[in-house]
Amino acid sequence: MEVKLLNFTSLLIAIKAIRKCYDSCSDNLGDRDMKLLESVIKNDHTSTIEHINFTFEINGISRACLQELARHRHASLSVESTRYTLRNLVQEYKKDTFLYSDYLVLTNDNQMDLWSIDSLNKVISLLEKGYKNDQAKYLLPESYKTNLIWTINARSLRNFFKLRSSSKALWEIRELANNIFKAIPDDHKILFKDIIKGDK
């Protein structure tokens, strides 16, 4: 799994939004502004941080993890299409350098991993027989890797971190939450530090 931050909004936008509500002046992200931002978060008056957006490139998560991610509806996803990319799998399979771990998120449970590999082999077999990508993809295992661009506002990201950094969350999405947190600029971590510390 790889997470890269592509773009983000300055904290100053949230400060302007907060100060607009109170008709007060900013000190350009100085102590007063940071204390105000912490106060807004502490008191859960977080609608103003919806003005801050983050866009991430996320590569190598499973379709199972993508399904969990898609439940966070106040976010935008642009996901690699199996309809257009699955055919590449057959060409890669023919190479000596083919590794299942390049295409599947392996769980370290031998039986589950063998079933995932078997399922992927069946997909490759169908594609080699001329089945269309849209037909063959119905056999793809949930462990099949995908890539996407994900944009989310800071308030929704707080909710994501709260739910997905929990020990009750799927292990892979916990790892994703930690990687997303690590990718956020240090000065923006003020928005989330009460929820997630990273590497839980």
d(CA 157, CA 150): 11
Residues paired with 56 in a beta bridge? 5, 150
CA nearest to 161, candidates 197, 188, 127? 197
For 91-148, how does the pLDDT look when each residue is reduced to its tens digit (9 = 90+)?
999 999 999 999 999 999 999 999 999 999 999 999 999 999 999 999 999 999 999 9
Q: Is 164 a catalytic site residue? A: yes
d(CA 124, CA 130): 10
Is residue 154 part of an annotated ligand binding site?
Answer: yes
Is residue 20 part of an annotated ligand binding site?
Answer: no
For 71-104, how does the pLDDT look when each residue is reduced to its tens digit (9 = 90+)?
998 999 999 999 888 888 999 999 999 999 999 9
- The predicted pLDDT at position 200 comes to 45
In this structure, which amino acid lies at residue 180?
I
Greatest mean pLDDT range, 20-29, 78-87, 92-101, 149-158? 149-158
Is residue 68 part of an annotated ligand binding site?
Answer: yes
Q: In the CATH scheme, what architecture does the domain 2-77+153-191 have?
A: 2-Layer Sandwich (3.30)
- Residue-range domain boundaries for the chain: 2-77+153-191, 82-145
Is residue 73 part of an annotated ligand binding site?
Answer: yes
Q: What is the pTM of this model?
A: 0.93
Is residue 63 part of an annotated ligand binding site?
Answer: no
Out of 19, 87, 158, 164, the active site residue is 164
Contact at 8 Å (CB) between 86 and 127? Answer: yes
Q: Which two tokens stand for residue 192?
A: 């989330």
pLDDT of 199 higher than 70 = no
